[in-house]
Amino acid sequence: MPTFYGTEVTSRLMLGTAQYPSPAILADAFRRSGAGIATVSVRREAGGDQAGQDFWALIRKLGVALMPNTAGCYSVREAVTTAQMARELFDTNWIKLEVIGHADTLQPDPFGLVEAAAQLAEDGFEVFPYCTEDLVLCERLVEVGCKVLMPWGAPIGTGMGLKNIYGLRSVRAHFPDIPLVVDAGLGLPSHAAQAMELGYDAVLLNTAVAKAGDPAAMAHAFALAVEAGALAAGADAMDARDMAAPSTPVFGKAIL
């Protein structure tokens, strides 16, 4: 299982906690998924005292590690302040760092992301940056102290899957010793399996499960897909060929 900042997690699947039809369905989805980490928006927790307490109690009952995030932050100052609030609320140095640069695609702001990551790492945070598959950006994030990278598969909530296989494969090859998580854009279990087949350490998703007709069943499907993809990655898969190759030997074939 992957290790993030010295902590080994129990699953390669991470789930978000937003958009579920009810708390009971959320809890059932987590149980069926076996997810090892739950992400939660700090803004949701700060929205109301009683609502926040009830939700936090539910998350504790799930028995999974918690990763607060800075979802919805569009500036360095906003993201850093939100991360500081998260550390006080949840008593953890883990933070999924989002600094959004484009309102339509929710693409990360690469300049703000590096600046915020540097400030947070300096302050003792263990940063999980939501980034693109740009090698230069990833290199800068590692340089300022990030020991995990979380490139997107596609824009958040689109369900389009892995839109740049070449880019994601390049990140894996360039950072062989850095834990990598595909974060955002996954819509089907097959997308998660594909990410694992590329050699990634985990996947993080929310909408594909929360918005499914049966979230618990979809969570279970993603769990199986992640396991299958990880097994395939370790099995030294065959290389693709341009031409057919017979699986049955022709030697000894009857001559008519």
For residue 223, what are the contacts with CB-CB under 8 A and spacing of at least 6? 11, 13, 32, 33, 34, 35
Helices (H), the chain: 23-33, 42-45, 49-62, 76-90, 110-122, 135-143, 165-174, 189-197, 207-210, 215-233
How many C-beta atoms lie closer than 10 Å to residue 84's C-beta?
15
How far does the chain reach from its first CA to its final CA, in angstroms? Answer: 55
Residue 68, helix vs strand vs coil: strand
Q: Which residue's structure tokens are 């490139």?
A: 151
Q: How does DSSP assign 171-230, residue by residue?
A: HHHH-TTS-BEEES---SHHHHHHHHHTT-SEEEESHHHHTSSSHHHHHHHHHHHHHHHH
List, by residue number, the catalytic residues. Answer: 96
